[in-house]
Homo-oligomer: A and B are copies of this chain.
Amino acid sequence: MPVVSLPDTEWIEMVGPVAGVEAVPWDIVAEPPRRDEIELVVPPYIGDRAALKRLAMLPSLRAVQLLTAGYDDVLPMVPPGVVLANAAGVHDASTAELAVGLMLASLRGFPQMVRAQEQGRWVPVGGRPALADKRVLILGYGSIGRAVARRLIGFEVSLTAVASRARGGDDLVERVHGIDELPELLPQHDVVVTIVPLNDATTGLVDRDFLAAMPDGALLVNVARGRVVDTDALVEATATGRIMAGLDVTDPEPLPDGHPLWRSPGVFITPHVGGDTSAFSPRAARLVREQLTALVQGRPLRNVVNAA
Contact = CB atoms under 8 A, between A and B. Distances in A.
A268 to B, nearest CB: 7
A130 B273 contact: no
A287 to B, nearest CB: 15
A270 B124 CA distance: 9
Interface string A86-108: 00000001100110110011001
A257 B116 CA distance: 11
Contacts of A254: 122, 124
Contacts of A258: 120
A97 B255 contact: no
B104 A97 contact: yes
A2 interface: no
A152 B152 CA distance: 9
Nearest to A94: B130
A265 interface: no
B272 A124 contact: yes
Contact of A255 (B122, B154, B270): B122
Given A97-B132, A132-B93, A268 B127 contact: no
A233 B93 CA distance: 34
Contacts of A181: none
Nearest to A263: B120
B155 A120 contact: no
A155 B104 CA distance: 15
A129 interface: yes
Contacts of A165: none
B255 A126 contact: no
A133 interface: yes
A77 B291 CA distance: 70
A278 B129 contact: yes
A299 interface: no
A156 B278 CA distance: 13
A53 interface: no
Given A104-B101, A257-B121, A271 B130 contact: no
Given A101-B105, A150-B154, A153-B153, A117 B262 contact: yes
Contact of A115 (B118, B259, B272): B118
Given A114-B268, A270-B113, A271-B122, A277 B156 contact: no
Interface string A277-290: 11100100000000
Interface of A: 93-94, 97-98, 100-101, 104-105, 108-111, 113-118, 120-133, 150-156, 253-259, 262-263, 268-273, 276-279, 282
23 contacts: A93-B130, A97-B104, A97-B132, A108-B270, A108-B273, A108-B277, A113-B268, A114-B114, A114-B268, A117-B262, A120-B258, A120-B259, A122-B253, A122-B271, A124-B254, A125-B271, A126-B276, A127-B276, A128-B273, A129-B277, A130-B279, A133-B279, A150-B154
